[in-house]
Amino acid sequence: MPDFQAWASAHQRRFEDDLRRLLPQPDAAPQRLHAAMRYSVLDGGKRVRPLLVFAAGELAGADIARTGIAAAAVELIHAYSLVHDDMPCMDNDVLRRGKPTCHVEYDEATALLVGDSLQSLAFQLLAEHRLNDDAARQLSMIKLLAAASGSRGMAGGQAIDLDSVGKQLSLPELEFMHIHKTGALIRASVLLGAQCGSPLDEKEMSSLDRFGKCVGLAFQVVDDVLDAEADTATLGKTAGKDAEQDKPTYVTLLGAQAAKRMAAELHREARDALGGFGEQAQRLRELADFIVLRKF
């Protein structure tokens, strides 16, 4: 088995080619919108969610052509959320993935349409390509991604986030917000990857669900710590924004040390959830390590 870094780099390279092919080509009209979509998706980001799709797909013996489509759909939803989140009506940021945000490079109306179009394309891909031999299962995958990104998932979490500025949240309220804003899409990535493969039994799916839930929340706890402790150049996005905008985070609520302990605890729980799997869950274990131990 190649080491994790080699595995991740090979998948990231292949995935970049998939995205270049699946996104509208830059010479197709309307060229400016298509250029802005490609600008917002290509050549950037850690691709954590796609890697989770690939790792869960490998666990379930899925064909990489199928997981590639599911991974693209998830990453397009993620990219849309970043483009909209950076807009002046939301987080109002100028730097993302080490370059000017979409509305700065293009304009606000274009950024809005980029997000809309990326979201539509995500669902078009899921509907257009064969992801599972069983059509009913494929339909349930589309439903899963819709639920994870909508008002009962990511968009709902974002609404709570915007509403929480300047407020003191309790730990359960903060957890609720982050399980939706960040966790839902990460959890869906794991489940979608697995659903591209041979059916797993109920216990196995529920273990993967628990894994996805833990790494989803751990991702956000670590994000809060990095926002407080890392610098803008390392993150490729503006550091220190949470404190500047008076946003409740795990760091403001618990302090940095306790937030790090919480991330370590979620890391342990995520690895425990995979206890019933053998070697075939190794990539998921390594991704949990990366999510918690990352420096950017």
Residue with Cβ nearer ligand GRG (45 or 197): 45
Residue with Cβ nearer ligand GRG (119 or 195): 119
Please give the structure tokens belonging to residue 116.
């809309």
Does the protein bind ligand GRG through residue 158 (CB under 6 A)?
yes
| Alpha carbon separation from 241 to 208, 229, 248, 249 (Å, rounded) | 33, 11, 11, 11
What are the residues whose beta carbons fall under 8 Å from the beta carbon of 187, sequence distance 6 or more? Answer: 148, 209, 212, 213, 216
The conformational region for residue 28 under phi > 0 = left, psi -120 to 50 = alpha, else beta, is beta
Q: How far is the CB of 50 from ligand GRG (least distance, A)?
A: 9
Does the protein bind ligand GRG through residue 58 (CB under 6 A)?
no
* Strands annotated E in 13-127: 95-96, 99-100
Please give the structure tokens belonging to residue 83.
């483009």
Which of 53, 82, 262, 292 lies at the binding interface for ligand GRG (CB under 6 A)? 82
Residue with Cβ nearer ligand GRG (16 or 204): 16
Does the protein bind ligand GRG through residue 48 (CB under 6 A)?
yes
DSSP 238: -
Q: How far is the CB of 133 from ligand GRG (least distance, A)?
A: 31
Residue with Cβ nearer ligand GRG (121 or 200): 121
Number of residues that bind ligand GRG (CB under 6 A): 16
Does the protein bind ligand GRG through residue 81 (CB under 6 A)?
yes
Which of 58, 175, 223, 288 lies at the binding interface for ligand GRG (CB under 6 A)? 223
Q: How far is the CB of 27 from ligand GRG (least distance, A)?
A: 27
Which of 67, 117, 220, 249 lies at the binding interface for ligand GRG (CB under 6 A)? 220
Separation between Cα atoms, residue 233 and residue 230, nearest integer Å: 9
Which of 154, 218, 266, 291 lies at the binding interface for ligand GRG (CB under 6 A)? 154
Does the protein bind ligand GRG through residue 190 (CB under 6 A)?
no
Q: Print burial letters for 107-138: b (CB count within 10 Å at least 16), e (below 16).
A: eeebbbbbbebbbebbbebbeebebbeeeeeb
Residue with tokens 């869906």: 188
Options 53-61, 82-90, 257-265, 276-284: segment touching ligand GRG (CB under 6 A):
82-90
Q: Which residues pair with 95 in a beta bridge?
A: 100
Write the burial class of residue 201 (CB in 10 Å: 0-12 exposed, 13-18 middle, 19+ buried): exposed
Please give the structure tokens belonging to residue 68.
């590639």
**Cα torsion 10, 13, 19, 20: sign:** negative
Which of 73, 85, 145, 259 lies at the binding interface for ligand GRG (CB under 6 A)? 85
Does the protein bind ligand GRG through residue 153 (CB under 6 A)?
no
Single-letter code of the amino acid located at 151: S
Does the protein bind ligand GRG through residue 53 (CB under 6 A)?
no
Which of 110, 117, 132, 182 lies at the binding interface for ligand GRG (CB under 6 A)? 182
Residue with Cβ nearer ligand GRG (128 or 231): 231
Question: Contact positions toward ligand GRG, by CB under 6 A?
Answer: 45-46, 48, 78, 81-82, 84-85, 97, 154-155, 158, 181-182, 220, 223
